[in-house]
């Protein structure tokens, strides 16, 4: 009898037009995850969240969380009202566990030019019957698994090296170093070093680095010339712990990885400095550090380059770089508008001193590289998270831009190399 009742109850539950609603669950327990859950109103489907700031000084905007148990319902996600929370096309959404992404207001923007309102602090999402793992993020997340997936195509090549720069500060992880070794005779004339993620959350820089790598390893004449004339290293995650743990990273206390070039608090900065000084000896040193800017508006919705502080030595090269990049990227998806570039400042070697005086012994990577006697060109570029001109940024358009950035650098070095001969 008891069994019969249980069976009937089960049948009723299955056939009921009002299925038992599961509990909405929100978490960030995966690589790159970041959220602080303030409250979940299960009755009204309202979730209040905010970015988890951890050791960030001041406010910051990176978040990346997962929602489960919300199938067949519409949920409102509320963020703090005091600041701008989302980029120009709103939060980014993935319904396949973080594999592919689409910005919430992308369609609106592309069809009518309407941006996600800067003053809007909430959004809603309707979960389908199979949406058991839906993710929301500020930009497009990029962690070690993305790097491993992209780099798999190069694992079997004999003319590259997968190395480790050092262990991360937590000693839990390797800090990757990818090397494209010099193939010429004698010593290389150029030494090229590229870094990304000094600021952990700045994920839009990473596909650009992928594009730079793919250009270096391509059959393009400039790429072949590069491999015959330069030793090239890439460090994809300067703040490896921060990337995997989902930290903001920017303005980390007491200072972040890109203000550590005097104090060397972080093992990756210490190891990178030693590597560059040792390996670039006798070669002309070229360095580029890849970043992402702020939330939205003005130059944040483009990509741009920072002018040098070593004006006399590097400003002419920087201007050639800008002209050539405009040419190389003119048919690219992401429009380059050089007017957004930040002009150089004539501070010369004293800039490290001026950082020291004001901010207590802090220096950024490019300022430090520019102070080295063999520095030929050192630059920092910032790639927006969501929008570039009238295009929505995707990993593919980032890679396309990266290929052209590397092509531009290679063209300049090839021209200069030819002049010396």
Q: Is the Cβ of residue 199 or residue 273 nearer to Zn ion in the bound state?
A: 199
- Shortest Å distance, C-beta 290 to Zn ion: 9
Looking at the Cβ atoms of 115 and 197, the one nearer to Zn ion is 197
Backbone angles phi, psi at 381, to 5 degrees: -125, 150
For residues 97-127, one letter each, b for 16 or more C-beta atoms within 10 angstroms of the residue's C-beta and e for the rest, the string is ebeebebbbbeebeeeeebbeeeebebebeb
Please say which residue, 199 or 366, places its beta carbon nearer to Zn ion: 199
Determine contact, residues 23/35, Cβ cutoff 8 Å: no
Binding span for Zn ion by CB under 5 A among 5-13, 47-55, 199-207, 361-369: 199-207
Q: Please identify, using beta-carbon distances, which residue of 214 and 365 lies nearer to Zn ion.
A: 365
CB of 233 to Zn ion, least distance (A): 20
Buried residues in 309-327 as b, exposed as e (16+ CB within 10 A)? bbbeebbebbebbbebbee
**Contact range with Zn ion by CB under 5 A, out of 96-104, 176-184, 200-208, 336-344:** 200-208
> Closest distance between Zn ion and the C-beta of residue 272, in Å?
16
For residue 62, the minimal CB distance to Zn ion (Å) is: 12
Of residues 241 through 270, those in contact with Zn ion by CB under 5 A are none
Nearer Cβ to Zn ion, position 248 or 328? 248
- Nearest residue (CB) to Zn ion, 55 versus 323: 55
Let me know if 266 is exposed, middle or buried by CB neighbors in 10 A (0-12, 13-18, 19+): buried
How far CA 8 is from CA of 2, 21, 395, in Å, comes to 10, 20, 52
Question: Is 199 among the residues that bind Zn ion (CB under 5 A)?
Answer: yes
CA 309 to chain centre: 24
Minimum distance between the CB of residue 163 and Zn ion, rounded to whole angstroms? 24
CA quadruple 80, 83, 85, 87: dihedral, nearest 10: 170
Nearer to Zn ion, 188 or 308 (CB): 308
CB of 184 to Zn ion, least distance (A): 34
Residues that contact Zn ion, how many (by CB under 5 A): 3
Q: How far is CA 83 from the centre of its chain?
A: 22
Stretch that binds Zn ion, among 167-175, 178-186, 194-202, 387-395 (CB under 5 A): 194-202
CB of 405 to Zn ion, least distance (A): 16
CA 341 to CA 171: how far, in whole Å? Answer: 37
Residues 280 to 309 in contact with Zn ion, rule: CB under 5 A: 291
Q: Contact, 87 vs 138, CB < 8 A?
A: yes
Site residues, Zn ion (CB under 5 A) = 199, 202, 291
């Amino acid at each position: 009898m008891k069994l019969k009742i249980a069976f009937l109850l089960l049948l009723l539950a299955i056939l009921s037009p009002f299925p038992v609603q599961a509990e909405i669950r929100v978490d960030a327990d995966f690589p790159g995850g970041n959220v602080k859950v303030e409250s979940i109103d299960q009755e009204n489907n309202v979730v209040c969240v905010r970015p988890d700031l951890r050791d960030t000084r001041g406010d910051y905007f990176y978040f990346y969380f997962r929602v489960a148990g919300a199938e067949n319902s519409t949920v409102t996600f509320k963020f703090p009202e005091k600041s701008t929370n989302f980029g120009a096309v709103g939060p980014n959404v993935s319904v396949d566990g973080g594999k592919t992404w689409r910005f919430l207001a992308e369609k609106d923007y592309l069809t009518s030019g309407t941006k996600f309102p800067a003053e809007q602090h909430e959004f809603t999402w309707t979960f389908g019957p199979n949406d058991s793992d839906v993710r929301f993020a500020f930009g497009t997340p990029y962690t070690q698994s993305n790097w491993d997936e992209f780099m798999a195509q190069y694992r079997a090549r004999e003319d590259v090296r997968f190395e480790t720069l050092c262990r991360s500060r937590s000693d839990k992880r390797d800090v990757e170093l990818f090397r494209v070794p010099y193939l010429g005779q004698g010593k290389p004339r150029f030494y090229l070093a590229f870094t990304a993620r000094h600021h952990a959350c700045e994920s839009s820089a990473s596909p650009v680095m992928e594009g730079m790598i793919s250009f270096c390893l391509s059959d393009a004449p400039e790429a072949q010339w590069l491999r015959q004339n330069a030793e090239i290293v890439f460090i994809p995650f300067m703040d490896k712990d921060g990337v995997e743990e989902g930290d903001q990273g920017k303005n980390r206390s007491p200072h972040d990885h890109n203000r550590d070039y005097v104090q060397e608090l972080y093992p990756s900065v210490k190891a990178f400095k030693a590597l560059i000084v040792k390996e670039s000896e006798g070669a002309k040193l070229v360095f580029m550090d890849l970043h992402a800017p702020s939330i939205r508006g003005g130059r944040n919705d483009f990509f741009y380059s920072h002018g040098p502080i070593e004006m006399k030595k590097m400003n002419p090269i920087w201007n050639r770089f800008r002209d050539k990049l405009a040419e190389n990227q003119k048919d690219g998806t992401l429009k380059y508008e050089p007017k957004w570039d930040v002009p150089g400042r004539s501070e010369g070697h004293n800039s490290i001193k001026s950082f020291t005086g004001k901010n207590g012994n802090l220096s950024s990577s490019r300022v430090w590289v520019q102070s080295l006697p063999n520095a030929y060109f050192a630059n920092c570029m910032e790639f927006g998270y969501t929008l570039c001109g009238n295009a929505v940024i995707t990993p593919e358009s980032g890679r396309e831009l990266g290929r052209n950035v590397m092509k531009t650098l290679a063209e300049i070095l090839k021209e200069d190399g030819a002049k010396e001969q």
